[in-house]
């Protein structure tokens, strides 16, 4: 069981690492249409994971509340949104294709600000994986090992393009291939750390499982709407991002239903 959990929380990080490794073998710059497509796909996966892997299980956990079973999910969802909003304002970061950093003023280098932006939205993904595995380990939370694995695989799939989207533009900015790969990989390191800390706190996590599942969902949806959708929609042929959003949503939905 411990091996399954260890492997499960590392799968999303592996996705980021493999995506970042694209900088070692491909051209320096991603085609804009390809970047929009990858961003759209990642956004679709995150939204589907938020619904099928997090919000629906949160409401199922609250079924004894009857018609009010949506309340813990709604409360947790809004806490997740507000938490990411707070981090967005408290941590200096720079979104891809943006010339102006967000958050407090900082003298940090551009590549560090870019990595911080990706790290911010990787945090709720790590928490989501940790909460689901903590629920499975508890044995009475109605979450299966295959359901937890489905979430890990889904996040790993969307982390692959994210790794490429962070490492390759850094290379185009003049950063060496090795450093670009390292920065891309480090942006995903917060996920297994966040997942492991959540699992270690399982005694506190399980009683609050409906709130924490929906908290992760709210944080992920915030990232999608605030960052990924604008990135996939800018410029000409924005429908490419929309179509790939639908593809990512379908892939994650199928994964969760087939394995969960």
49, 256 Cβ separation under 8 angstroms: yes
42, 177 Cβ separation under 8 angstroms: no
Q: How far apart are CA 199 and CA 87, in angstroms?
A: 22
Mean pLDDT, contiguous 10-residue spans, the chain (260 residues)? 83 92 78 83 91 90 88 95 89 72 75 77 85 81 79 88 82 84 88 88 79 91 88 76 93 84
pLDDT of amino acid 214: 93
Long-range contacts of 196-205 (CB under 8 A, 24+ apart): 196/9, 196/130, 197/130, 198/126, 198/127, 198/130, 198/131, 198/133, 198/134, 199/5, 199/9, 199/130, 199/133, 199/134, 199/137, 201/134, 202/134, 202/137, 202/138, 205/130, 205/131, 205/134, 205/135
CA-nearest of 43, 41, 55 to 217 is 55
pLDDT of amino acid 39: 86
pTM of the model: 0.87
pLDDT digits (tens, 9 = 90+) for 20-53: 998 888 766 677 788 888 889 989 999 999 998 8
Q: How far is CA 174 from CA 30, 38, 110, in A?
A: 14, 22, 11
173, 166 Cβ separation under 8 angstroms: no
pLDDT of amino acid 38: 85
């Amino acid at each position: 069981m411990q091996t399954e959990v260890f492997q499960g929380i590392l799968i999303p990080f592996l996705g980021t690492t493999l995506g970042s490794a694209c900088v070692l073998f491909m051209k320096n710059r991603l085609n804009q249409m390809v970047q929009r497509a990858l961003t759209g796909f990642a956004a679709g996966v995150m939204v589907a994971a938020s619904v099928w892997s997090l919000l629906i299980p949160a409401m199922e956990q609250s079924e004894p509340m009857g018609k009010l079973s949506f309340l813990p999910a709604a409360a947790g969802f809004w806490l997740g949104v507000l938490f990411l909003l707070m981090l967005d304002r408290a941590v200096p970061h720079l979104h891809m294709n943006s010339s102006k950093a967000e958050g407090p003023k900082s003298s940090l280098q551009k590549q560090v600000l870019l990595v911080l932006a990706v790290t911010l939205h990787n945090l709720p993904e790590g928490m989501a994986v940790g909460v689901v595995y903590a629920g499975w380990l508890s044995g009475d939370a109605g979450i299966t090992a295959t359901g937890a694995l489905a979430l890990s695989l889904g996040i790993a799939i969307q982390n692959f393009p994210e790794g490429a989207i962070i490492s390759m533009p850094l290379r185009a900015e003049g950063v060496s291939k090795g450093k670009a790969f390292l920065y891309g990989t480090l942006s995903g390191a917060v996920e297994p750390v966040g997942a492991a800390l959540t699992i270690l706190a399982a005694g506190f996590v399980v009683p609050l499982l409906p709130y924490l599942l929906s908290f992760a969902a709210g944080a992920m949806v915030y990232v999608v709407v605030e960052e990924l959708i604008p990135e996939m929609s800018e410029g000409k042929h924005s429908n490419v991002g929309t179509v790939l959003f639908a593809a990512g949503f379908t892939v994650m939905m199928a994964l969760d239903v087939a394995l969960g």
